[in-house]
Structure 1
Amino acid sequence: MTFTWPEFRSAEPDFAETVQRRFETFPHHVLATLRKDGSPRLSGLEVTFRFGELWLGMMPNSRKALDLLRDPRFALHANPGDGNTLPDGDVRIGGLAVEVTDDETLGRFTEEVRPPEPFHLFRVEPTEVVRTWLEDGALAVRVWHPGRPLRTLRHSVLG
């Protein structure tokens, strides 16, 4: 089961805002795709939130774009920065990347974002959103899956 980003935002607005803010803290993030042989490929990537959606834009025929065209499953991990301070914690999104090819959406995106052309554009359909952070001496993990309640787990890190 997948949701669109707006459906996720509607289901869990506070969590979605925290995740979006974390991704917007830095421009570059890490994308995991699947190679033809099923092994993972990690690539750097910029993401953008526009028109209520989460977008992945890529150079034409880049390896990561070709991976997603063959198998749309991905994982996206937010840049941790220098690792010293993560007030919103560590976040990642798993899901499907749906290529967008209609002229209206591409034109609107190009007008607002001004990416180098040509490019591949993928809309994110999240199947999992996770935030991990430290809180009161415990590791807290908040997990969302479509159609399930938001869960927060806590694990003591003090031994």
Structure 2
Amino acid sequence: MTFTWADFVSAEPRFAETVQRRFEKYPHHVLGTLRGDGSPRLTGLEVAFRFGELWLGMMPNSRKAQDLLRDPRFAVHANPGAGDRMEDGDVRVGGRAVEVTDAAVLARFAETVAPPLPFHLFRADLAEVVRTGMDGDELFVQVWRPERALRTVRRRGDDSPPREEG
């Protein structure tokens, strides 16, 4: 089953807004793909939120595009920014990259984003969205997956057990 960014927004609007705002804070992020031998590859990437979708655009024949064409599994981690204070938390999205070849969709995307031409475009089919951060002296991890509602796990720096919410 396919879960688009719009599906995520519909399921968890406030969480989706927080995650999107975090990605839009900086233009460059880190994409994780799998090489042909199964080892991980990390590369820089810009993401775009348009038409209810999360898009991954890149140069044709780039290593990351070749990786995704061979094995569509990916994770994209938002740029943490400068300094050591992550006020907005740390976010990442994982799933499968769906190649877009429809000329009309590519043209519509190019009109709104103006990528360098030519470009390769993938739509994100979401499998997981995660946000990690600090709330006072507690670490929290928010996890959304299509098959279950948003859940939050909180943990203190002492020996107390983690608490799950949601």
Q: Structure 2 matches for 1:34-49, cutoff 5 A?
A: 34-49=34-49
Question: Partner letter of residue 80 of structure 1?
Answer: P
Flag the structure with more relative contact order, 1 or 2, with Cα contacts below 8 A and sequence separation at least 6: 1
Instruction: Tell me the distance in 2 between the aligned counterparts of 1:41 and 1:69.
Output: 14
1:114 corresponding residue in structure 2? 114
What letter corresponds to residue 25 of structure 2 in structure 1? T
Is residue 58 from structure 1 mapped to residue 20 from structure 2 by the alignment? no
Contact 1:30 1:42 in 2 (8 A): yes
Structure 1 unmatched runs, 5+: none
Question: What does residue 133 of structure 1 align with?
Answer: 133
Structure 1 partner of 2:164? none
Q: Quote how far apart the aligned CAs of 1:86 are.
A: 2.2
- Kindly indicate whether residue 99 of structure 2 is the aligned counterpart of residue 99 of structure 1: yes
Q: What is the match of residue 80 of structure 1?
A: 80
Cα displacement string for residues 46-78 of structure 1 (whole angstroms, at most 9, x for unaligned residues): 111111211000001000000000110001100
Structure 2 gaps, min length 5: 160-166
Which residue is equivalent to 2:7? 7
Kept after mapping to 1: 8 A contact 2:4/2:52: no
Between the aligned partners of 2:141 and 2:127, the Cα distance in structure 1 is: 16
Are the aligned partners of 1:138 and 1:158 in contact in 2 as well (CA < 8 Å)? no
- For residues 104 and 77 of structure 2, the distance between their equivalents in structure 1, rounded to whole angstroms, comes to 29
Is contact 2:95-2:125 (8 Å) kept? yes
Amino acid at match of 1:68: L
Paired residues of 2:55 and 2:121 also in contact (CA < 8 A): yes
Render the CA deviation track for 1:129-156: whole Å, top value 9, x for unaligned.
0000101211000000112011100011
Q: TM-score, normalised by structure 1?
A: 0.96
Q: Identify the residue that residue 144 of structure 1 maps to in structure 2.
A: 144
TM-score normalised by length of structure 2: 0.92
Distance 1:65 1:30 in 2: 14
Query: Which letter maps to 2:141?
Result: V
Taking the aligned partners of 2:97 and 2:39, their CA distance within structure 1 comes to 18
Distance, in Å, in 2 between the alignment partners of 1:133 and 1:158 is 17
Task: Report the count of equivalent residues.
Answer: 159
Quick check: 2:59–2:119 contact (8 Å CA) kept in 1?
yes
The residue identity in structure 1 corresponding to 2:34 is L
